[in-house]
Chain A
Amino acid sequence: MSKSKVRKGQARSSVAVLPKEEGEAAEGPRTPASAPGRGWRRRAPPRLRMFLNAQREEKQKNHCSKGHGVSKVKERDQKLCIRFKCAVMNTLLDVLRCRPGWVEVKDEGEWDFYWCDVSWLRENFDHTYMDEHVRISHFRNHYELTRKNYMVKNLKRFRKQLEREMGKLEAAKCDFFPKTFELPSDYHLFVEEFRKTPGITWIMKPVARSQGKGIFLFRKLKDIMDWRKDVGRSDDQKDDIPVENYVAQRYIENPYLIGGRKFDLRVYVLVMSYLPLRAWLYRDGFVRFSNTRFTLSSIDDHYVHLTNVAVQKTSPDYDPEKGCKWMIQRFRQYLTSKHGPEAVETLFQDMDNIFIKSLQSVQKVIISDKHCFELYGYDILIDQNLKPWLLEVNASPSLAASSQEDYQLKTCLLEDTLHIVDMEGRLTGKEKRVGGFDLMWNDGPVSREEGIDLSGTGNFVANTHLGCNNDRKKQLRQLFHSFHNRKKVTG
């Protein structure tokens, strides 16, 4: 299927690019909300637009109180009005605008829902009063999970704790993160490890940058000696820390290759709260391919080793018509036909383990505010032994669409996220599945089977369906159908 591909950067918006700290949220020149250049922007159907306009007029007639988060109009009046603010100008804005009963507020207006960016969060979260029903899309100190150096620390600590409490076997389940050292603080420990295993390749990543910037590979200490001299010239002014921190990580030299190319997986995990830990896993995701063939002989070839789409786009080979992504379903089918269903099942179970252990490791550290939720983008690399490795966790995964298929995926992802956030109050709280999201962890493992918790017995099958069939429309219809029935009964 030759799909018409998006050309990023064709339309320029006059909105200033908001500074982004991490994750992939910075996409370069903004395209006007959603239109990835080809005009498939979704517009609210005429009836809905009139309804929304009427709502706006209604609101203007009514009074506006102080503080954020005036309680929303009672549902019984059938006039659902949720005021939202959105810091990103792409797919998300489309989804929010199309949602019935949701009204956009600009600038200084009060809001019930804010999809903010992390810099706003840092500056304003602590001084903002939020009503009970208000929701915001980040946790205050999410960087404990998403900053590479903090994540390493938390994971190491969690691993030690597990070893103490449950033994080596359980602790070994945390070995999904390649050996990492924070620099310059752990420099000596790093050198010790480096000398123990000579000849292997290491990768140097800046702690707080995204889109593959500033990353390089090395095999000799001499290579980073030179870099150490230059480290004072850090140009990341937005960072609080005066000297830019890096992590040195063991480079995975035997990645799984498809068609001779290296790839990584992007998986979406939605965390609604940390205490207790409630996490949902989205069934869809995608596989990002490197544009060039993998070989260890060309360490300097930036483009081979980094599968980040942002970097791929600057590779001279890059042909935007090519679109280097596969959906995870297709990847799962490919692996099944090559290795058989059992091996693939084990691989996906190992990935579940990664998600859960990583969240557990920061559970006690992250401030679990009931107003907060967060949609993480997990980057996973698979090696030739079908072992998954965690590369990083993104708090602001890119929501811009690079193709029609991508747009579809992100729209559905965001719609389902908003369903789970449930500002409209339609869910009972007992659901194990909403649209494409499956409840992965609810203060304990969630089983596919109904009823009794079989986590102790061998029959436990986790309620995750990554890469499986996503018949979300049907499921949502059934879900909201029962809500309507309940409403009718209660009046």
Chain B
Amino acid sequence: MLQEETDLSVIIAHIVQKLRSSRLSTQLGFQASVSLQKPEIKLESLKEDIKEFFRITGWEKKLQNAVYSELTVFPLPRHPAAPPEHLKEPLVYMRKAQGSWEKRILKSLNSMCTELSIPLARKRPVVEQKELLNKWNEMGTDEPDLSLFRPVYAPKDFLEVLINLRNPNYENGDHLNLRTHLGLIQVPLKVKYISELKDYFIELSLNTGQLGIDDATQVPPELFENEHVRLGQKVLAEQDSAAAQQYVRQGSPTALRAELWALILNVSNQPEDLLYYEQLKSNVIQHDLLVDSLIYKDVKLTASNDDYYFVFEDYLYQVLLCFSRDTSVLGHFAYNSASPPKSYIRGKLGMEDYAVFYPPNGVIPFHGFSMYVAPLCFLYHEPSKLYQIFREMYVRFFFRLHSISSHHSGIVSLCFLFETLLQTHLPQLFYHLREIGAQPLRISFKWMVRAFSGYLATDQLLLLWDRILGYNSLEILAVLAAAVFAFRAVNLMEVTSLAAAEAVLADLSTLKVMPLLQIFLFATVT
């Protein structure tokens, strides 16, 4: 009891401290002082009256949303005496693995830099600045010579690192023994069983209406869809983050999705946000970073070639270039097992005073990074709002997909969850694929790293991301990956090589996500 109370007070203190420095507290203070003019506010019951005033005018809701947002995003220290590294990642061997992976990436970046003799950063000459400003809305028309650049790493390189992760407390030896896992991931992480998943994803059950299933043409809209849309409109009218998050677990109607996601992520388009975006834009114009070329290359290679997202090419540049200059993103490294790479001013290597984070936001893009942004272009058309939504999505979810950690939504756990689900529920398929040298994770890894962006049809992808937001967890990606294998199990049983297995699973664009998830979770005989 006492422990809980102490925990709670720690949590409250922590949140109060965070919010006190935010814009919201200034606004609340201002609103409170304005309210003093009102006749309802009496000196005797000042506190209650002001609280009532906040409640009526919707400011209380905004505060609630901010608190909820903090609770969701920022994990709290499990123990008051825990050092900050534990917040990033409690397991030492994982931290070490992440550290050495980062060293490799940085080495690769530096060697590319010296090879091409391009500085990591340079100030643009005025002429170039003017040119870029003119072309800001159509950077896609630019065709810089990118042939010498290569992406710093691709998902499959990262997979190799994960495969070689070992827990030093386990004596595995070099040969197979009882403790060796049949899949590729060899670390013992705690993941949910299917019974736990059924409880966790209870809103996806067969008895509950879903968008993605119960809005199909044959189903009369009165049964579910109309009511659900009405409910969505009510949630938006109330402007309640927590309610919105609960609501989208059953899917979000297309027309309401943009606003609902903004509400859940607590993104509003304040003038300060616009100003901030403009400032980032001017940073882009003034300085050119090596990372920019990597971004260009990535967009040209992935999103521009995609049937659906090529149209949004220009938006992608506008978002990603600004993203790499945004130092507020550094805040998320407090709970990300990764650390931002450091670079030193020329000639001052090793001297901390001359260290800067490079890129300014600490995130080095890899091959396929732009696909995180592309589906969002479908919903948000105004660059600064699109930017904020993407930044929020990144610091809440996407960063976990390319850093090594033991978090239940981290990519390692997702891989392990996927393999466990497959082994437990489709043992024959798993064994067969393993025998022919087609470990299932080799195929599904790229889907999960990209959160299925670019593999599923956009409307299905957005339904999937609804659930990611709704459950505040990426575990659904692993479940979907397993469900896809289950769906194509018959064909997969007949293949005899990795290439053939890849071919069976090459095209996911016709899949309907929600029926697959429902069947796998709730309708498979275990």
Contacts and interface: CB of A to CB of B under 8 A. Distances in A.
Contacts of A1: 306-308, 454-455, 507, 509
28 contacts: A1-B306, A1-B454, A1-B455, A1-B507, A1-B509, A2-B302, A2-B306, A258-B311, A259-B311, A259-B315, A259-B377, A261-B311, A292-B141, A293-B137, A319-B304, A322-B305, A322-B310, A323-B307, A323-B310, A326-B308, A333-B254, A333-B458, A333-B459, A337-B255, A337-B378, A341-B255, A405-B307, A471-B217
Contacts of B217: 468-469, 471
Nearest to A292: B141
Contact of B314 (A2, A293, A322, A326): A293
B311 A326 contact: yes
A430 interface: no
Contacts of B93: none
Interface string A296-322: 000000000000000000000101011
A403 to B, nearest CB: 8
A337 B311 contact: no
Contacts of A289: 311
Interface of A: 1-3, 258-261, 289, 292-293, 317, 319, 321-326, 330, 333-334, 336-338, 340-341, 403, 405, 468-469, 471
B305 A337 contact: no
B73 to A, nearest CB: 25
Interface string B302-334: 101111101111110000000000000000000
Given A261-B311, A289-B311, A337 B455 contact: no
A137 to B, nearest CB: 30
A259 B305 contact: no
A326 B455 CA distance: 16
Contacts of B458: 330, 333
A470 to B, nearest CB: 10
Interface size class of B (residues with CB under 8 A): 20 to 34
Interface of B: 137-138, 140-141, 216-217, 254-255, 257-258, 302, 304-308, 310-315, 377-379, 381, 454-455, 458-459, 507, 509
B314 A260 contact: yes
A333 B258 CA distance: 13
A337 B308 contact: no
* The 8 residue pairs across chains A and B that have the minimum distance between CB atoms: A259-B311, A293-B138, A340-B255, A336-B254, A2-B305, A337-B254, A259-B312, A1-B509
A66 to B, nearest CB: 50
Contact of B304 (A322, A341, A469): A322
B314 A259 contact: yes
Nearest to B135: A293
Contacts of A341: 254-255
Nearest to B216: A469
Contacts of A338: 381
A333 B137 CA distance: 24
B313 A259 contact: yes
Contacts of A260: 137-138, 314
Given A1-B509, A469-B217, A330 B311 contact: no
A107 to B, nearest CB: 40
Contacts of B311: 258-259, 261, 289, 326
Contacts of A258: 311
Contacts of B455: 1
Contacts of A334: 378
Given A259-B311, A337-B379, 8 more contacts: A1-B306, A259-B313, A322-B305, A330-B458, A334-B378, A337-B254, A337-B255, A341-B254
A436 to B, nearest CB: 13
Given A259-B315, A333-B459, A3 B141 contact: no
B457 to A, nearest CB: 8
Contacts of B306: 1-2
Contacts of B459: 330, 333
B255 to A, nearest CB: 5
Interface centre among B137, B254, B308, B507 (most CB of A within 10 A): B254
Contacts of B378: 333-334, 337
Contacts of B308: 1, 326, 330
A412 to B, nearest CB: 14
B141 A321 contact: no
A50 B458 CA distance: 42
A325 B306 CA distance: 11
Nearest to A322: B310
Contacts of B379: 337
B513 to A, nearest CB: 15
A42 to B, nearest CB: 17
A301 to B, nearest CB: 12
Contacts of B255: 336-337, 340-341
Contacts of A340: 255
Nearest to A334: B378
Contacts of A325: 307
A3 B307 contact: yes
B123 to A, nearest CB: 28
A471 B216 CA distance: 11
Nearest to A263: B311
Nearest to B252: A337
Contacts of A337: 254-255, 257-258, 378-379
Contacts of A323: 307, 310
A317 B143 CA distance: 9
A320 to B, nearest CB: 11
Nearest to B218: A471
Contacts of A321: 305
A322 B455 CA distance: 17
A333 B257 CA distance: 12
Contacts of B312: 259
Nearest to B313: A259
A94 B283 CA distance: 56
A73 to B, nearest CB: 39
A303 to B, nearest CB: 11
Contacts of A330: 308, 458-459
Contacts of A261: 311
Nearest to A324: B310
A479 to B, nearest CB: 16
B321 to A, nearest CB: 16
A161 to B, nearest CB: 38
Nearest to A342: B255
A402 B105 CA distance: 40
Contacts of B454: 1-2
Contacts of B140: 293
A319 B305 CA distance: 9
A324 B137 CA distance: 19
A168 B377 CA distance: 42
A334 B459 CA distance: 9
A325 B311 CA distance: 9
B508 to A, nearest CB: 8
Contacts of B509: 1
A292 B141 CA distance: 7
Interface centre among B138, B302, B379 (most CB of A within 10 A): B138
Contacts of A3: 307
A448 to B, nearest CB: 12
Contacts of B507: 1
A258 B313 CA distance: 11
A1 B306 CA distance: 5
Contacts of B141: 292-293, 317
A471 B454 CA distance: 23
A2 B302 CA distance: 8
A261 B315 CA distance: 12
B155 to A, nearest CB: 15
A243 to B, nearest CB: 39
A323 B311 CA distance: 10
A317 B378 CA distance: 24
A341 B308 CA distance: 21
Nearest to A3: B307
Nearest to A474: B218
A259 B307 CA distance: 14
A416 B244 CA distance: 43
